[in-house]
Structure 1
Amino acid sequence: MDVDQLPGFYAIAAADPGRRALIDSDGTETSYGELLARVNQVSHGLRARGLVAGDVVAGVLPNGIDAIVMITATAQIGLYYVPINWHLTASEVAYILDDCDAKLVVTGPGFAVPGAETGTAGLAEGQPTDAPGERTSGAVMWYTSGTTGFPKGVQRPLSGMVPEQMIPAYRWFLGEVVDLRPGDDVHLVTSPMYHSAPCAHTQFALHLGHTVVIAPKFDPVTILELIERHRVTNAMMVPTMFHRMLQLPEEVRTKYDVSSLRQVIHTGAACPVSVKQQIMDWWGPVLYEYYGSTESAIAFAVKPQEWLARPGTVGRPVPMFEAKIVDEAGVELPPREPGMIYVKSGMGTFEYHKDPEKTAASMLGEWYSPGDIGFMDEDGYLFLCDRRTDLIVSGGVNIYPAEIEAALLEHQAVADVAVIGVPDEEWGHNVVALVQPAEGVTPGPQLTAELLEHCGPRIARFKHPKVIEYRSPLPRTPTGKMSRTKVREDYLSEL
C-alpha cells in the first residue's frame, strides 16, 4: 500500500492493519492493526482512570511494545508522557514522579514503583479497540540528564489539534533533514527509548509506515545480524557505537551484508572525524548527523555528501531555525570565531516544568543556548568545540577536551577516553586523560608512551595530556553521553 497520502500511524494502521509494525527484542511480531487496537484500548483505559487532557502519565518501561503503546496512546488523548530512565535509583525515580505531577505510572517487570501499573494489560483490559472520541495531540515531556543539578522536565504547550493535523509537518521536516520518507522501510532501535532521540525516531518510524525492529541491547555483532536479517534501512546510533563497531575484527565486519542501510542518523555526542570517515568507508555515505538538545530539538543537520566536503561539521541550521555565535557579553561573533552557540526556533517554545527561573536563565531574549562552544564557517556550517562547562584553561589558553579525546580514540588500544582539567597552581589546569583500554590491552608505561607519541602529529603539544591514567569502564549513558563533571569530581575525590 502507498502510505504517502496517509497522515501518520493511526491512519496507516486503520487502512492497512496487516502491515508489519514491530519486531520486538524477543522476536515477537505485531501488525499495525494489532498495535492500534492495543493503543486505542489503553487510551480508553487511561480516560477510565480519570485522566484528562493536560494530565501527566509516566513510564518506567524497557524498550518494547508497552513503551511504544504508552507513547502512542497518550499522543492521541492530549496527555503528557514522561519516559523515565530505568537505571535510576528509587529515590531518583521518585523525584521525577513528584516533580512531573504524574497521575499514573506504568512500569515493566522488575521496576518496582509504589502504586504503579505493571505493563499496559491492566489499562487495556475490557476496553474497546475503536478510536477514542475527542482525540487531541499529547506530547512527550523528557527530563534532562541533570548533570548540573536535579533533572528538569522540558515541557511544550499542547497544540489542541488532532494528531493527523500535526504529523504531516513532522514528516516534511524529517524528509528535509535526514531524507526519511513514508514507505516500506525498516527502522532499527539501538538505544533506550527513555532518551529523546530514540523515542522520537521510534514514533517517526511508525508515522512513516516503517517497521520498527528493537535490538535487545547494543552489541556490535547483534546489530550487524539484525541489519542483515531484517534488511534494515535506517537507524539512530551514537558515536560510541561506531567506535565499538570499528573494533570488530575485519573478518567479522565483512561477514554481514549492510547494503540495505540508507540512513544511519547520529547525534548525542561529538563524533571524531576519523571514526565517522571509517564507518562511511565501510557502510557507504549513509551517515546523517544532527545537533541540538532536548530543549531545542534538531537545530543543525548535515547530510553525508555535505559532511564529506566539510569533515567535522555538524551542519547548518535546519528549516525554521536561526543560529548565531556570541561572546561572553552577548555580542555576535564573525565566522570562525568560537563562542557560545544560540539558536532560535520557529517551531514553538519550551519551558522547564515548574522552573521559570531556569527557563529564563537559558535564554537570551528569544534565543536558547544548549551550553556548547562552537564556530560557524562563512557558509553557516557549525563546528563544535566543546561544552562550556568542560573547557580547560591552561596557561591562559583554551583547550577543548573533545579534540584530545578524538585524537586518542584513533589509537586501536583505546576503547574509550575522558579528558578533564585538573587544578594546577602554575598552569591553572593540567590536561588529564582517563583511558579505558581496548579488550586484551595491558595498561602501563609503554602504552602511555605510545599514546603520547600518537598525539604528536594530531594535536599541538600544549594540548597533550600531562597525565594518562587508566579506568575501566568509563561511565557513559546508553546514548553515548559522558558527564565530564562527574568524572572530574570522582577523579579529584581520589587525589
Structure 2
Amino acid sequence: MQQNVPESYLPDAAYGPEPVNALPETDYPSHINVAEELVDRHVEEGRGDNAAIRFRDRETTYSELQEKVDRFGNALRDLGVEPGDRVLVRFPNRPEAVVSCLAVQKIGAIPQPSMKLLRAKELTHILDDAKIKVAIVYDDLLDELEDAVDAVDCVEEIVVADDVGVEHDHPSYESLIDDASDDLEAHDTEATDLGLMLYTSGTTGRPKGAVHSHSDILATADGYARYCLEPTADDVFGGNPPLPFAYGYGDLVTFPLRFGATISLVQDASPETLLEAVEDHGITVFCSVPTAYNQILSKFPEGHEEYDVSSLRVGLSAGEPLAPHTFDEINEKYGIDILDGIGTTEMLHIFISHRHTDDIDASATGFAVPGYEAKIVDPETGDELERGRSGQLAVRGPTGITYWNRPEKQSEAVENGWSFPGDIFVQREDGRFEYQSREDDLIISSGYNIPGPEVEMVLEEREEVQEVAVIGAPNEERGEIVKAYIVVEEGHEANEELVTELQNHVKNTLAPYKYPREIQFIDELPRTETGKIQRTKLRDREQVA
C-alpha cells in the first residue's frame, strides 16, 4: 500500500467489500489517478479550451483548471502533504473547492470535503477522527475551523482562500498558487488507493467517515452517469447539492469532468439564483433535492416562463424520496423528467434509478444501475424475498460500504460482499424497486409495519401541506403511533378542521391503520445541510415530551 494510511483505520486492513466490476468501463488498470482522468486527459486529447467550470460570470477552461491543480498540488507538497495524508476542504460551492480536491488527489493524498455549516464541535470530531494534516478553508468559514483546530493536535497548517476580507495570519491559497510551479507529475496511485473521504450527514447518529478509492470515484461516472444520463461534452451540470454531499460531489465534480462537460457552480443557492444559473450557464442536467424542486415551484410558479430554461434536458433528485406530484409538475412546466435515485455517502452515489430513456414510473425509484446488483432480503434470516414483499435492501457492485475507523459498524454493513445501506424496499413484479423507508423510519404500530415516507407522500398531495415529516411517536397502547409534523402552505390556516381533513385524506388513500393519529403543525422542519429531514431530532422531541 503506497499511501500513508493507518491500517487499523480500515476494516481488516483492506478497503471493504471486493468490488464487482460487471461493466467493462469499470475494469480499471491497477494504477490510475482520478485527477489525471478528470482533467489532464482532456487537455492531452485537445479539449483544453473547453469550459470546465462556470461560476458567476467567470469561466475556467480545462487548461486553466489543470494549471491551477498542478500549482496547488505543488504548494501542498511544499507544505509537507504526503500520499495518504487527509486534507480538509471547507468551502461553499466555489471553484477553489474543486481545484483543492483535485490537487490533493493528484499528489496521492485524500481530500475530506467539509460541509460549510458545521460548527466547531462537529469539526473537532472530524479533524480528530480523520487525523487531518492540513485544512483548506474559505475565509468566511475560518472562525469555526480555528476553534476546532485549537482542540486537536493533528492539524499542522490552515490554508485560507481570501474573498470577503477576513483577517488572518495563515498562508494564502492565491499566493501559494501564484508562487508554485505548474509542472506536476501525478502520484503513481493504485486504483484501490483512497481518493476521497466523506462524512455521513448524521441523520441517524454521530457522523461516520466513509472512504472511497480512485476507482470508486470513476466508477460512479462510468456506471450511473454513463448509462442513466448519457452525458456528452456539450452538457452543463448544475444545481444546489453541496460538494461535500456525495450526491453533489458526483453531480458537480466527477460526472461533468469525466465526460469533458461543464460544471455550473452557485455559491448561495436559492430558487432565484438556481433559475438564473440555468439561464446564464445553460444548464442541461439539473441536480437537486426534492425540497429545492418544491421551493422553485412554490416561490416561482411561473419560473419556467420568467427564465430561459430551454437548455434543460433532464433533472436528478436524491437525498429524500421525490413525490410523484413534484415529478409531474416539473415535467409539465419545465418539460423534463426527474430521475429520482437512491444512493448513500457510504456507496458514494446512486445505485438504483431509472435511465433517462426509460418509461419512468414516478411512484418507484427504478432499477439497479448498470454494474450493480440489488436484492431484497429478510432482515432476520438474510434470505432473499420474493417480489412484492418489503425487506432490507442489499447491494453489490463497483462501490461498496467502507467505514473509516469503525470496525463494528463495518461488520454490520457488509456481509458476504453485499452492502446493506439501511433502506427498506419492495421489488415489484416489473423489476422496479419501490422505496419504503429508512430502517430507522419504519413505524411499528400495533404490529403493523408502516413506512413513514409513504404517509408523507400522501399528505404532500394536499395543497395545504408545504412540508411534512412522519415519525413513530411512543404510545403505551400501540407501542408507536404515526405522527406527522407539518409546515402549512402560506394562505392556509393550521387548525383542528385541517387536522381532520388530512387524517381522512390518508385514511381514504392508504390502509386506514396508516393514518397519522397525531398531527402537529410546525414552522420549520429540522434539516441537514444537504436538505435531508432530521427525523432523529423529531423522535428525540417525542422522547422528552
TM-score, structure 1 normalization: 0.90
Amino acid at match of 1:210: A
SS for the counterpart of 1:434 is strand
| Residues 284-333 of structure 1, C-alpha deviations (whole Å, 9 max, x = no match) | 2432232221222332121245353x332212212221111111221111
* Structure 1 range deviating more: 61-70 or 30-39: 30-39
Q: Distance in 1 between matches of 2:519 and 2:483?
A: 6
Instruction: Tell me which residue corresponds to 1:342.
Output: 394
Instruction: Tell me which residue corresponds to 1:96.
Output: 126
Aligned match of 2:358 in 306, 327, 346?
Answer: 306
| Residues 198-239 of structure 1, C-alpha deviations (whole Å, 9 max, x = no match) | 112222212322222212333223322321233211121111
Shift of 1:117: 1.4
SS for the counterpart of 1:480 is coil
2:51 equivalent to 1:20 = yes
Question: Is the Cα contact below 8 Å between 1:293 and 1:370 reproduced in 2?
Answer: yes
Instruction: Tell me which residue corresponds to 2:245.
Output: 195
SS for the counterpart of 1:155 is strand
Aligned match of 2:159 in 94, 111, 117?
Answer: 117
Q: Distance in 1 between matches of 2:285 and 2:400?
A: 29
Q: Distance in 2 between matches of 1:433 and 1:415?
A: 13
Aligned match of 1:472 in 523, 533, 541?
Answer: 523
Instruction: Tell me which residue corresponds to 2:202.
Output: 146
Q: Distance in 2 between matches of 1:359 and 1:87?
A: 27
Shift of 1:275: 1.7
Amino acid at match of 1:124: I
Q: Distance in 2 between matches of 1:286 and 1:10?
A: 33
Q: Distance in 1 between matches of 2:220 and 2:318?
A: 18
- Aligned positions of 1:50-449 closer than 5 A: 50-111=80-141, 112=143, 113-114=145-146, 115-119=157-161, 120-136=173-189, 139-157=195-213, 171-203=221-253, 204-248=255-299, 250-297=301-348, 298-304=350-356, 306=358, 308=360, 310-327=361-378, 328-345=380-397, 347-449=398-500
Stretches of structure 2 that go unaligned for 5 or more consecutive residues are: 1-35, 147-156, 162-172
Shift of 1:374: 0.9
Question: Is the Cα contact below 8 Å between 2:252 and 2:264 reproduced in 1?
Answer: no
SS for the counterpart of 1:50 is coil
Q: Distance in 2 between matches of 1:133 and 1:407?
A: 52
Instruction: Tell me which residue corresponds to 1:3.
Output: none
Q: Which runs of 4+ in 1 moved over 4 A?
A: none
SS for the counterpart of 2:519 is strand
SS for the counterpart of 2:405 is coil
Shift of 1:80: 0.9
SS for the counterpart of 2:179 is coil
Shift of 1:341: 0.5
Q: Distance in 1 between matches of 2:138 and 2:363?
A: 40
Shift of 1:182: 2.9
* Structure 1 range deviating more: 247-256 or 53-62: 247-256
Question: Is the Cα contact below 8 Å between 1:289 and 1:303 reproduced in 2?
Answer: no
Q: Distance in 2 between matches of 1:267 and 1:373?
A: 16
| Residues 358-381 of structure 1, C-alpha deviations (whole Å, 9 max, x = no match) | 111112221111111111123421
Instruction: Tell me which residue corresponds to 1:30.
Output: 60
Identify if the C-alpha distance between structure 1 residues 230 and 157 changes in structure 2 by more than 3 Å, giving closer, same or farther: closer
Identify if the C-alpha distance between structure 1 residues 417 and 133 changes in structure 2 by more than 3 Å, giving closer, same or farther: closer
Amino acid at match of 1:183: A
Q: Distance in 1 between matches of 2:411 and 2:382?
A: 15
SS for the counterpart of 2:294 is helix
Instruction: Tell me which residue corresponds to 1:481.
Output: 532
2:75 equivalent to 1:45 = yes
Stretches of structure 1 that go unaligned for 5 or more consecutive residues are: 1-5
Q: Distance in 2 between matches of 1:348 and 1:185?
A: 25
Shift of 1:110: 2.4
Q: Distance in 2 between matches of 1:238 and 1:151?
A: 20
Shift of 1:157: 4.4
Question: Is the Cα contact below 8 Å between 1:244 and 1:415 reproduced in 2?
Answer: no
Shift of 1:355: 1.6
Question: Is the Cα contact below 8 Å between 1:261 and 1:286 reproduced in 2?
Answer: no
Identify if the C-alpha distance between structure 1 residues 48 and 7 changes in structure 2 by more than 3 Å, giving closer, same or farther: closer
Identify if the C-alpha distance between structure 1 residues 465 and 317 changes in structure 2 by more than 3 Å, giving closer, same or farther: same
SS for the counterpart of 1:227 is helix
Q: Distance in 2 between matches of 1:122 and 1:128?
A: 12
Q: Distance in 2 between matches of 1:31 and 1:133?
A: 20
SS for the counterpart of 1:447 is helix
Amino acid at match of 2:195: A
Q: Distance in 2 between matches of 1:456 and 1:228?
A: 43
Question: Is the Cα contact below 8 Å between 1:78 and 1:158 reproduced in 2?
Answer: no
* Structure 1 range deviating more: 366-375 or 252-261: 252-261
| Residues 104-132 of structure 1, C-alpha deviations (whole Å, 9 max, x = no match) | 00111122223521123244241112333
SS for the counterpart of 2:63 is helix
Question: Is the Cα contact below 8 Å between 1:42 and 1:73 reproduced in 2?
Answer: yes
Shift of 1:250: 4.1
TM-score, structure 2 normalization: 0.82
SS for the counterpart of 1:384 is strand
Q: Distance in 1 between matches of 2:344 and 2:499?
A: 35
Calculate percent identity across the aligned residue pairs.
31
Higher RCO structure (Cα 8 Å, ≥6 apart): 2
Q: Distance in 1 between matches of 2:445 and 2:467?
A: 23
| Residues 5-24 of structure 1, C-alpha deviations (whole Å, 9 max, x = no match) | x9542232453443222222
* Structure 1 range deviating more: 467-476 or 109-118: 109-118
Question: Is the Cα contact below 8 Å between 1:82 and 1:141 reproduced in 2?
Answer: yes
Q: Distance in 2 between matches of 1:13 and 1:436?
A: 50
SS for the counterpart of 2:364 is coil
* Structure 1 range deviating more: 318-327 or 117-126: 117-126
Q: Distance in 2 between matches of 1:430 and 1:329?
A: 27
Q: Distance in 2 between matches of 1:147 and 1:188?
A: 25
| Residues 38-63 of structure 1, C-alpha deviations (whole Å, 9 max, x = no match) | 11111111111222221111112111
Question: Is the Cα contact below 8 Å between 1:52 and 1:79 reproduced in 2?
Answer: yes
Question: Is the Cα contact below 8 Å between 1:157 and 1:350 reproduced in 2?
Answer: no
Instruction: Tell me which residue corresponds to 2:514.
Output: 463
Question: Is the Cα contact below 8 Å between 1:177 and 1:301 reproduced in 2?
Answer: no
